[in-house]
Amino acid sequence: MSPAPDLNAPTLQRWLTGPRFSGLPMPTADRPPPKLSFEFFPPRTDELEKQLWACIERLAPLAPRFVSVTYGAGGSTQARTHATVARLARETALTPAAHLTCVGATREEVDGVARQYWAAGVRHIVALRGDPAPGTAYAPHPGGYAFAADLVAGLRRLANFEISVAAYPETHPSALSPEADLDNLKRKLDAGATRAITQFFFDTETYLRFLDRCLAAGITAPIVPGILPVSNYTQAVRISGMCGTSVPDWMGHLFEGVENDPETRRMIAMVVAAEQVRLLQANGVDEFHIYTLNRPDLTYAIAHVLGVRPGR
Ligand SMILES: Cc1cc2nc3c(=O)[nH]c(=O)nc-3n(C[C@H](O)[C@H](O)[C@H](O)COP(=O)(O)OP(=O)(O)OC[C@H]3O[C@@H](n4cnc5c(N)ncnc54)[C@H](O)[C@@H]3O)c2cc1C
């Protein structure tokens, strides 16, 4: 811990002796840019569908490693996920990944969806348990996969999918303990997943200490940080509360006074997310999963700042 700066010292002396921010890596032409993947959600209306495909068109030239599409509870959302992923496979050069949950479904139903993906040329599944209806506790479907680890094992038996799973640097909200949650992550990877993508987080230290714990538990697969650019602080606080992500005080401070100024909020979002990624890069991490919220400009700008350019 560095000593507190002497605020009464003459300015230049304070600058030259006070605590330092560490230098962050700058993108240069000869340095490989980080590897990015992007997440979308399936559109609910024709208008939102147009917005999603405009977003995909804008981000596609950045050649992400893969693009994933989330999967919600209920039939129509699931059909929209399937339609979006199948169209990505059919009409673009992108590598699509389909999120698939096991909550509220039999094994046969889940296997059926996975088989349809395989038939549509989709080779990457993000395998998840999913959440119960709001206000109810999770209970496995009697004829279903109980947890994500069981789903991973089931998918492995079905076909040679690439499988990603979820990880929680701040522990899943309903886990018995951080240790039990880490054991669960290890089970998912041991069952055949090759990558974990994290719940979004804002405190880099929390994520880095989580990586230490993963390594100590014998996990060597990449635990790719999920990056959420925040331009709506109130919404971020609400969503964070639901998924157990802590929101640091500095973030509230950053958004103070710009509640009615969306343009400034978006610029703040870009800077904060790019800084978060660069700080993680300074700590050796070189893969990132960006939650795009189906809006291309923040993600595009962040990628650009990181040195990710079309055609590179
Ligand atoms: C990157 C990412 C993408 C996501 N995409 C989607 C999506 O598209 N659609 C969607 O609906 N949700 C999505 N979610 C949310 C996810 O479905 C929820 O967080 C859900 O509550 C847990 O899913 P999981 O796959 O992590 O579950 P699991 O890994 O099964 O873990 C769920 C909980 O059960 C505990 N647990 C596991 N096994 C056991 C056991 N045998 N006994 C007791 N407890 C156990 C775990 O510790 C944990 O607390 C996503 C989350 C992330 C991080």
Domain CATH for 77 = 3.20.20.220
What is the Cα–Cα distance from 182 to 168, expressed in whole angstroms?
9
Q: Write out pLDDT tens, residues 251-297.
A: 999 999 999 999 999 999 999 999 999 999 989 999 999 999 999 99
Whole-prediction pTM: 0.94
Q: Is position 55 within any domain?
A: yes
Quick check: is 12 in a domain?
A: no
Provide the domain count of the chain. Answer: 1
Which of 273, 282, 277, 283 lies closest to 229 in space, CA to CA? 273
CA angle 249, 254, 258 (to 5 degrees): 130
246 lines ligand 1 (CB under 6 A): no
Does residue 1 lie in a domain region? no
Is position 23 within any domain?
Answer: no
User: Would 264 be classed as within a structural domain?
Assistant: yes
Q: Does the beta carbon of 130 lie inside 6 Å of ligand 1?
A: yes
Q: Quote the ligand 1 centre to 106 CA distance (angstroms).
A: 17
Residue 159 structural domain: 32-305
Q: How confident is the model at residue 134 (pLDDT cuts 50, 70, 90)?
A: confident
Is residue 7 assigned to a domain? no
Question: Cα-atom radius of gyration of the chain, to the nearest Å?
Answer: 21
d(CA 301, CA 140): 41
| Closest residue CA from atom 49 of ligand 1 | 175
Q: Is 197 in the pocket of ligand 1 (CB under 6 A)?
A: yes
The answer to whether residue 11 is domain-embedded is: no
Q: Which residue has the higher pLDDT, 74 or 124?
A: 124
Catalytic residues: 39
Q: Print burial letters for 210-227: b (CB count within 10 Å at least 16), e (below 16).
A: bbeebeeeebebbbbbbb
**Nearest CA to 280 among 7, 29, 17, 35?**
35
E strands, 83-194, are: 96-101, 124-128, 162-167
Which of 283, 279, 304 lies closest to 211, judged by CA? Answer: 283
Q: To test the ligand 1 pocket, which listed residue (39, 70, 128) has its Cβ within 8 A of the most ligand atoms?
A: 128
